[in-house]
A and B are shown apart, each in its own frame.
Chain A
Amino acid sequence: MSPESTDLRRQFVEADEHGVDALLVALAASAGAEAAKSDRLCRSSLEALGSDLERAAQAIAKRFSAGACLYTFGNGASSTDAASVAALFSRSPGGTLLPARCLVADQAVLTAIGDDVGHGLIVSRQLVAFAQVGDIAMGYSTTGNSETVIRAFREAKHRGLLTVGFVGREGGQIAASDVLDHCFVVRSHSRHRIQEAQAALSYRLWAAVQQQLAPGSGRPALGRQQPAANQELLEPEEAR
C-alpha cells in the first residue's frame, strides 16, 4: 500500500459525521496537496536527472541517426507509459518523426507468449524477433522489480541495444543490475506520483533528442542505413 493513499484515507475517517459538503471540501484540499506533491517531484526529478537526460539524449540521437528503432515496454499501467512514449517519438506533432514501437500493444502476441512460455518473456521474446544491433530499448517500472522489464533489458543488452530505464522507489533490481546504459530513478513510493514524474522526464528526453537531431546541431542528418554495419555502435556506451 502506498504511503500517500494511506495518508489520504486518514484525513477522511470522520467525513461520514459531517456529510457530503465536508467530504467535498476535504477532497478538493487533498487534490490540491497531491498536485503540489506531484509538481515538486517532477521538478526535483528533472533537476536531479537533467544532465543524465542530456547524455541519454545524445546517445539516443546518435543511434537514431544511424537508423535505429526505439522499442518501448512496461507492465500494467507502465505499459501505457510505454505506448505514450512510442507515440511521442513516432507521431507527435512538433518534432522529427522517428521509428518507435511499443512492444506491449498486440494482445495476440502478448497472450500467445504469456500463455505458452510465461508472462515474464512477453517482451524479451519479441526483442529476439525484431531487435537489431544498434536499436534502442526503453522500459518503465515504478517498482524497479518487474520481471518482464528486467528480462527485456537483459535480452536487449545481450543483443547490443542501447538500454534506457525509468524506475521508481529506490530503483529496485533494475537499477541495481548492470543492464542499463541510462537509468532514471524517480524517488517516491507513490505509483501515481512516480508515473507523473516519469512522463515529465520522458517528455524532456524526447525534446532533448529532437534538439540533437535538429538541423544545425552538428549531428548527422537522420539516415536509414543498416545499423549493424556501423561498428561504432558496437562499442560500449558512455553511461550513467
Chain B
Amino acid sequence: MSTNRLLATNDAPSQDLLGPDAADLAAASFAMARRFASGATLWCAAPSWPWHAQRLAAEFVHPVTPAEHPLPAVVVPGDHLWENLGPIARSGDMLLVVSRSDEPSVAGLRQRAKAWGVLTVWIGAGSRPEPGSADYVLWVDDDETISSYGGRFALIYHLLSELTDVCLEHPGLLEPEHAVCGDEVCITCSDEGRLGEVVAIRADGRAQVRTPAGLDTVDTTLIENARPGDLVLIHAGAAVTLVEVSRR
C-alpha cells in the first residue's frame, strides 16, 4: 500500500489492503484460538509503541462484544522483556510482539520463547525479519511510523482478535496440538536439536535447563562456560551447542 494513503485523499484504490497475507492472518488466529482453548495466556509486547500491547491485551480481556468470554491476555512490561516474561510464561502460552524487525529488545525474547514452548506471533512494518523469526509473521511492507500511528497495525491485530473470536466458537475444531513442537524436531518424536535455556549450573557441572517439556538436567561437558540465561541445543541428555542469543 502506498504510504500516501493517509496524506492524499484521491489516490487510486489500493490493491493490497491488508498487508500481510490473509491466509497467514487466518492461520495465526486459528493457532491462537487453539492455545486459548487449552488455557494458554497471551503475552503482548510492543517496546517502541507500548499502547499497541495495551490495546491488544484489552481486546482479549474485554472484547468488543461484552457477552464474549474474557480471555487471559497480559502486557509484558518494561525494557527487560525476557527477564520479565521468563518467570511467568508457561509452556503452551503465546507471545505477540509489535515491533520493527531490528528492535534489539525483542530478539532475545523471541529466541527464548522457543525454548519455553511459547508460540510467537510478530506484527511489524519496514524491513522484513528473517524467515523463521517467529511462528507467525504478519508484516506490513510500508513505513513503520505510518503503520504504527496511522492505523495499519491496529487493523492487523483487530482482525486477529476478530478471527480468533470466530475460531473460539468452533470448539470441535480446536483440539490441542498433540505435542509441543519446536521449529526443528518434535520432542515426542525425537531428541534431535532440542532447544533449552540454562537455568542454573549445578555443583557437579551439570546444568538445569528449561525446555518446552519442563525442567531437565543435562550434561555440559561438550560446551564451555555455560551461564544461566544461555540457550543450548540438547541431544541425548547433553547440551551439545551454545546458541547465540541476544541478552538485551
Contacts and interface: CB of A to CB of B under 8 A. Distances in A.
Interface of A: 1-2, 5, 8-9, 12, 15-16, 19-20, 23-25, 27-32, 34-36, 38-39, 42-43, 46-47, 50, 76-77, 79-81, 83-85, 87-88, 92-94, 191-192, 195-200, 202-204, 206-207
B167 A196 contact: no
Interface stretch (B52-60, B118-126, B226-234): B52-60
Given A31-B26, A83-B50, A202-B149, A42 B166 contact: no
Contact of A47 (B9, B55, B154): B9
Most buried by B among A15, A76, A200: A200
By DSSP majority rule, is chain B's interface helix, strand, loop, or mixed? Answer: helix
A2 B6 contact: no
A12 B168 CA distance: 11
Given A1-B67, A27-B26, A34 B170 contact: no
Given A35-B18, A46-B9, A203-B151, A196 B158 contact: yes
B162 A8 contact: yes
Nearest to A190: B64
Given A35-B22, A192-B158, 18 more contacts: A1-B65, A5-B64, A19-B173, A20-B30, A23-B167, A28-B23, A31-B159, A39-B14, A50-B9, A79-B54, A80-B51, A84-B51, A92-B145, A93-B145, A196-B158, A197-B151, A202-B149, A203-B150
A50 B10 CA distance: 11
B52 A31 contact: no
A40 to B, nearest CB: 9
Interface in B153-169: 154-155, 158-159, 162-163, 165-167, 169
Contacts of B13: 39, 43
Contact of A27 (B10, B148, B158, B163): B163
B236 interface: no
A16 B166 CA distance: 11
Contacts of B23: 24, 28
B198 to A, nearest CB: 35
Size bracket of the B interface: 35 or more
**Nearest 9 Cβ contacts at the A-B interface:** A199-B151, A27-B26, A83-B51, A80-B51, A192-B158, A28-B22, A203-B150, A80-B55, A28-B26
Contacts of A27: 25-26, 29-30, 163, 166-167
15 contacts: A5-B64, A23-B170, A28-B26, A35-B155, A38-B155, A39-B5, A42-B151, A43-B5, A43-B9, A76-B62, A80-B54, A92-B149, A93-B145, A192-B158, A203-B151
